[in-house]
Amino acid sequence: MAKHSFFVTGTDTGVGKTLVSAAILHAARTMGKHTLAMKPIASGCDRTPEGLRNEDALILQNAITEPLAYELINPVALEPAIAPHVAAEQAGRHITSDRLVGFCRGLQIRPADLLLVEGAGGWRVPLNDRETYSEFPRHLAMPVILVVSLRLGCINHALLTAEAIRSDGLRLAGWVANRTESEPMSCEQDTLNYLVNHMGAPCLGILPWLEQARPEMLASYLNIDGLFEN
């Protein structure tokens, strides 16, 4: 059974959740840990001879140490590159948190040191008309790792997301600051100092902007020892 499971969310879409997740998986690999990962819902999938495939899910598949069939990593693959609940509706599918929980529990029973589950978009992305994605980790009581893109407005987005995570009864296990633009944001160090002092959770790393960023290159910027302490 997976000893440590975490849900990876972001302050918004396009903040680098997949890159950060894969970097964490590579960092765990260097520590000799056995790892699993999944991206339960992925929109923006490409048609291939093997079926619908999502670039982010393939990155996760390449980063884990334990072999997994693609369908276990990404059980809900949707072609349109739009919000998951809209893509599902267009595909005639109905996504529920209970169904996603079932997929995840199938992986949790596998032996591993670490299981990362990457969400879609931010904390309140809809699954359907009644549920948001946050229902999924809440049902599993899964601690959360938050990816914060270092750009104007990130303090507000990060603190509001952290507040929402805790109000849903979940533990914020840590957060990762990710430089998603080539030019550093104005007053970046002041922003980082404020977040470190007010997030109420450890900063697991500050990832630099790299033109050809690869997860294995970014793993060295992370300190994930604390994820394995409890």
Model confidence, pTM:
0.96
Query: What tens digit of pLDDT does each residue of 72-116 get?
Result: 999 999 998 888 889 888 888 889 999 999 999 999 999 999 999
Q: Would you state the structure tokens that stand for residue 193, as one six-digit string?
A: 């100092």
Query: What tens digit of pLDDT does each residue of 5-64 get?
Result: 999 999 998 999 999 999 999 999 999 999 999 999 999 999 999 999 999 999 999 999
* The residue to which tokens 């599918």 are assigned: 93
C-alpha span between 124 and 103 (Å, rounded)? 20
Q: How far apart are the first and last CA of the chain?
A: 15
Whether residue 39 lies in the annotated active site: yes
Task: Determine which one of 3, 17, 33, 39 is catalytic.
Answer: 39
